[in-house]
Structure 1
Amino acid sequence: MASDDATMDGFGPSHTFGDPDPVTGSIPIIARRTDPSRRSLRQQGPRVARTFGVILAGGVGTRVGLKVPKQLVKVAGKTILEHTVTVFEQAPEIDEIIVMITPGWESRIRDLLGDRYPKVGAVLAGGETRNETTRLAIEAIGSDDAKLIMHDAVRPLLDPQIIADCVTALDSYAAVDVVIPSADTLVEVDDHDIITAIPDRSRFRRGQTPQAFRLGVLREAYGRAARDYSFRATDDCGVVLHYMPEVPIKTVTGAEHNIKVTYPVDLYIADRLFQLRSAGTPTYGTAASREDALRGKVFVVFGGSYGIGGEICRLAAEHGAHVVEHSRSSTGLDIRDAEKVRAAIEAAASAHGRIDAVIVTAGVLKMGPLSETDDDEIRESIDVNYVGPIHIAKASYPHLAATGGHLLYFTSSSYTRGRKSYAVYSSAKAAVVNLTQALAEEWTDERIKVNVINPERTATPMRTQAFGDEEATTLLSAEAVAEASLDVIASDATGQVFDVRLEPAEA
Structure 2
Amino acid sequence: MSIQNKTAIVTGGSRGIGAAIATRLGKEGFNVIVNYAGSEVAAEKVVAEIEASGGKAVVAQADVADSAAVKRMFDLAESAFGGVDVLINNAGIMKLGPLAQADDAQIESQIDINLKGPINTMRVAAKRLRNDGRIVNLSSSVAALKFETYGIYAATKGAIEVLTGILAKEMRGRGVTVNAVAPGPTGTELFLDGKSDAVIEKLSKANPLERLGTPEDIANVVAFLVGPDGAWVNGQVLRANGGMI
Aligned partner of 1:344: which letter? M
Which residue does the alignment assign to 1:357? Answer: 86
Which amino acid in structure 1 is aligned with residue 218 of structure 2?
A: V
Partner of 1:124: none
1:351 match: secondary structure: helix
One-letter code aligned to 2:225: V
CA RMSD of aligned residues (A): 1.8
SS at match of 2:136: strand
Counterpart in the other structure of 1:435: 163
Distance 1:427 1:417 in 2: 12
Tell me the secondary structure at the aligned position of residue 377 of structure 1: helix
Shift of 1:454: 1.1
Structure 1 stretches lacking a partner, 5+ long:
1-22, 26-293
1:369 aligned to which of 86, 98, 118 = 98
Q: Deviations over 1:226-261 (max 9, x none)?
A: xxxxxxxxxxxxxxxxxxxxxxxxxxxxxxxxxxxx
> Does 1:426 pair with 2:166?
no
Bigger helix share? 2
Q: Which residue number in structure 1 is paired with residue 131 of structure 2?
A: 403
Instruction: Give CA deviations for 1:126-168 in whole Å, capped at 9, x if unaligned.
Output: xxxxxxxxxxxxxxxxxxxxxxxxxxxxxxxxxxxxxxxxxxx
Structure number with greater Rg is 1
User: Who is 2:24 aligned against?
Assistant: 315
1:466–1:453 CA distance, 2 compared to 1 (3 A): farther
Query: What do the CA deviations read for 1:25-62 (whole angstroms, capped 9, x no partner)?
Result: 3xxxxxxxxxxxxxxxxxxxxxxxxxxxxxxxxxxxxx
Q: Tell me, yes or no, if structure 1 residue 336 matches structure 2 residue 54.
A: no
Structure 2 SS opposite 1:445: coil
SS in 2 for 1:501: coil
Following the alignment from structure 1 to structure 2, what is the Cα–Cα distance between the partners of residues 383 and 448? Answer: 26
> What SS is found at the alignment partner of 1:379?
helix
Partner of 2:216: 479
Contact preservation (8 Å) 1:365, 1:466: no
Q: How does 1:168-247 map to 2 (within 5 A)?
A: none
Structure 2: segments with no counterpart, 5+ residues: 41-59, 205-209
Q: In the TM superposition, what is the alpha-carbon distance from 1:371 to its structure 2 partner?
A: 1.9
Higher relative contact order (CA 8 A, sep 6+): 2
Counterpart CA distance in 2 for 1:487 and 1:361 is: 16
Q: Where does structure 1 differ by over 4 angstroms across 4 or more consecutive aligned residues? A: none
Q: Give the aligned partner of residue 44 of structure 1.
A: none
Contact 2:180 2:236 in 1 (8 A): yes
Quick check: 1:355–1:403 contact (8 Å CA) kept in 2? no
Question: What secondary structure sits across from 1:405 in the alignment?
Answer: strand
- Which of 152, 163, 173 lines up with 1:445 in the alignment? 173
> Residue 500 of structure 1 corresponds to which residue in structure 2?
240
Q: What is the aligned partner in structure 2 of residue 346 from structure 1?
A: 75
Write the letter of the residue equivalent to 1:392. Answer: T
**Structure 1 segment 47-62 matched on structure 2, within 5 A:** none
> 1:394, 1:456 → 2: CA distance?
27
Aligned to 1:184: none
For 2:88, give the aligned amino acid. Answer: I
Question: Within 5 A, what are the aligned runs for 1:1-400?
Answer: 23=1, 25=2, 294-328=3-37, 329-330=39-40, 332-400=61-129
Q: CA deviation at 1:459?
A: 0.8
Once the 2 structures are TM-superposed, how far is the Cα of residue 369 of structure 1 from its aligned partner? 1.2
Q: Secondary structure at the match of 2:108?
A: helix
Name whichever of 473-482 and 339-348 sits farther off.
Answer: 473-482
Structure 1 counterpart of 2:76, one-letter code? A
Cα deviation for residue 304 of structure 1 reads 0.5
Judged with a 3 Å threshold, the aligned counterparts in structure 2 of structure 1 residues 455 and 445 are, in CA distance, closer, same or farther, namely: same
Q: Secondary structure at the match of 1:336?
A: coil
Deviations 1:185-233 (A, max 9, x none): xxxxxxxxxxxxxxxxxxxxxxxxxxxxxxxxxxxxxxxxxxxxxxxxx
Pair 1:465 & 2:193 matched: yes
Take 1:417 and 1:454, find their aligned partners in 2: how far apart are those partners?
Answer: 11
Give the residue type in structure 1 aligned to 2:6: K
Distance 1:489 1:496 in 2: 13
Q: Distance in 2 between matches of 1:335 and 1:390?
A: 9
Q: Hey, what's the Cα distance between the residues in 2 that align with 1:383 and 1:437? A: 21
Q: Which residue does the alignment assign to 1:227?
A: none
CA distance in 2, matches of 1:412, 1:342: 26
Conserved 8 A contact 1:313-1:325: yes
Distance 2:145 2:243 in 1: 23
Q: Are the counterparts in 2 of residues 349 and 399 from structure 1 also a CA contact under 8 Å?
A: no
Label 1:418 to 1:460 Cα distance change in 2 as closer, same or farther (>3 A).
same
Distance 1:424 1:503 in 2: 24
The alignment's TM-score, normalised by the length of structure 1, stands at: 0.40
2:184 alignment partner in structure 1: 456
CA distance in 1, matches of 2:216, 2:243: 14
**% same residue:** 29
